[in-house]
Amino acid sequence: MSAAVTAGAKPAAAALRGADSGRIRRRFEALKAQGRGGLVTFVTAGDPDYETALAIVKGLPEAGADLIEIGMPFSDPMADGPAIQASSLRALKAGMTLKKTLALVTAFRAGDKDTPIVLMGYYNPIYRYGVDRFLADAKKAGVDGLIVVDLPPEEDQELCIPALAAGVNFIRLATPTTDDERLPAVLANTSGFVYYVSIMGITGTRSAADSDIAAAVGRLKRHTDLPVGVGFGIRTPEQAATVAGIADAAVVGSAIVEKIVAGLDGQGKAKPGLVKDLLGFVAELAQGVRGAARKR
C-alpha cells in the first residue's frame, strides 16, 4: 500500500512498487526497452454475447494489443458516449454479469499469462458484489488493475486502498481540468499507469490537438514516474501512432466498439466475420503504434 503524498514528491512511484501485480509494470518496462509506446484496447465484457466477447479478447494480443481494458457492463455508464453505453446495454441484455466478467478473464488467462488485463467501469456493480469478495475473485481470475471512473480520491478507502492492499493496481484518470493543485490527490494512490483523458466530456465524441496532448503528458511526467496512457477520441491508426509517439500508450475504445456494431445483424447478433474484422482493425492500430517515432 502506498504512503501518503509529501510535497514535491512523485507519489505514484511508491504505489507502483508497493501494489503492482507485476504484469502492467513488466509490460511498460518492455515497451520502454523496445523504444515505443503501447496500444491499449477497450471492449465491453459480453458484447454482443459472452462467446463472441471471449473470442475477441483472446485474439487481441496476437492482433497487437499490449494491454486490454475490459468494461464491466453497467446500466448507467454516465461517462461513456453512445457507442460504449450501447455496448453495455447489449451485454446486459445478453445476460452478462460481473461474475461472468470475471469468468471471462479466467478463461482468457488459461491461454495468456502475460497480457495485462484492466477492468474499467463504475462502483455500483462492485459495491453490490461486495468489495472484499470482488477483489479476491478478481485477483484469482487474473485481473491486474481497476479503473473506476466515479470514485474520486476522497473515497479511496472505499475501493482504492483495499485494491492496493490486495495487489491490484488502481489506475486513476486525469483530465484537462486536473490542475497542479489537484494532481497530488489524484496521484497519491494511483498505480500501474495514469490514464489521461485528453478531452472533456463523454467518450468517442472528438479528438484533442496533438500539442495539447504533448503539453499534458509533459506536465503529468513532472508529477509522477508512472507511465501515461492517453485515450478518448483516438479512432485511426494515424491518430494512435501520434499519441503513442507522445505518451507511453494510446488507448482506443469507441472506435473498436463501433467495429462490433458494424458486425451485427438486424437482431443484434454477431455476423460471421465480426471477430476477424475487428481484430484486423486492431492490427492496423497496432501497426501504426509500432511504427510511431517517439517524441520524447
Instruction: Map out the domains of the chain as residue ranges.
Output: 12-288
Q: To 10 degrees, the CA torsion angle through 173, 177, 182, 185?
A: -10
Active site residue 225: no
Query: Of the listed 20, 47, 66, 69, which one is catalytic?
Result: 69
User: If you count them, how many residues does the chain have?
Assistant: 296
E strand map for 140-179:
145-148, 169-170, 173-174
Give the CA radius of gyration of the chain.
18
Residue 97 DSSP one-character state: -
Reading the chain (296 residues) residue by residue, the pLDDT tens digits are 333 333 344 444 444 344 445 999 999 999 999 999 999 999 999 999 999 999 999 999 999 999 999 999 999 877 788 899 999 999 999 999 999 999 999 999 999 999 999 999 999 999 999 999 999 999 999 999 999 999 999 999 999 999 999 999 999 999 999 999 999 999 999 999 999 998 754 444 445 577 889 999 999 999 999 999 999 889 999 999 999 999 999 999 999 999 999 999 999 999 999 999 999 999 999 999 998 766 54
**CATH superfamily of this structure's domain 12-288:** Aldolase class I (3.20.20.70)
Q: What is the pTM of this model?
A: 0.90
Q: Rounded to an integer, what distance in angstroms lies between the CA atom of residue 147 and that of residue 162?
A: 14
Using CA atoms, how far residue 164 sits from 133, 197, 206, 237, in Å, is 15, 22, 33, 34
Q: Rounded to an integer, what distance in angstroms lies between the CA atom of residue 136 and that of residue 139?
A: 5
Query: Of the listed 80, 137, 156, 258, which one is catalytic?
Result: 80
Residue 250 amino acid letter: A
Active site residue 69: yes
